[in-house]
A = this chain, B = another copy of it.
Amino acid sequence: MKDIMGSPGTLGGLALRVLQFVCAAGSLAAILSAYGFSNYSAFCYLVLQMTLQLIWSFILVCIDTHSLKINWDLHSTGNLWKYVIGDWILAIGSLAAASSATAVAILLAIDVEFCRVNPYLSCSRYKVSVTLASMAWSFTAASAGSTFWLLVSLSE
């Protein structure tokens, strides 16, 4: 079994999945507990995207844990394509969601100073949520990159 750091079925890969799951869960918890988030489309999209990320990472955490436990080789090209496609779709979606939500959080906090005028808005939670969403994106991008690289090196 080729060992590329962060690829499926390795300890590094499992660590990345756990980090994605934790960041997505944190981002989701922060935004869902923030008052008034549903008034902004970007935050609703963030909720959708982080939910998808949470489900995907959870499934992959289970598969990785199982494969490490029974020493199951996940590196067959048939399986890897599915991971690569899923990871890429989620990585692009998460980047779009994190950027959109960050833009709205910056707009509310700095550009129009809504947060200062309306102290009932949970602006600090918006900030925590977008930071965690950006971290979830970076870990998903790392997974997508390493799995793609493994696929390329296996097809050579």
**Residues of A near any B CB (own CB < 8 A):** 39-42, 45, 92, 95-97, 99-104, 106-107, 110-112, 152, 156
**B107 with A42: CB separation less than 8 A:** yes
**B39 with A111: CB separation less than 8 A:** yes
Tell me the complex Cα distance, A95–B91, Å: 11
Chain B residue contacts of A106, Cβ below 8 A? 41-42
Chain B residue contacts of A102, Cβ below 8 A? 100
**Given A92-B95, A95-B95, A95-B96, CB of A103 within 8 Å of CB of B42:** yes
The 8 closest A-B pairs by CB, nearest first: A100-B103, A42-B103, A99-B99, A96-B99, A103-B103, A99-B100, A41-B106, A156-B156
Sample of 12 further A-B pairs with CB below 8 A, known A41-B110, A42-B107:
A41-B103, A41-B107, A41-B111, A95-B95, A95-B96, A97-B99, A100-B100, A100-B102, A100-B103, A101-B103, A103-B104, A152-B152
Nearest CB in chain B: distance from A87 CB, A: 15
Tell me the complex Cα distance, A106–B107, Å: 12
30 contacts between A and B (CB under 8 A): A39-B111, A39-B112, A40-B107, A40-B111, A41-B103, A41-B106, A41-B107, A41-B110, A41-B111, A42-B103, A42-B106, A42-B107, A45-B103, A92-B95, A95-B95, A95-B96, A95-B99, A96-B99, A97-B99, A99-B99, A99-B100, A99-B103, A100-B100, A100-B102, A100-B103, A103-B103, A103-B104, A104-B104, A107-B107, A152-B152
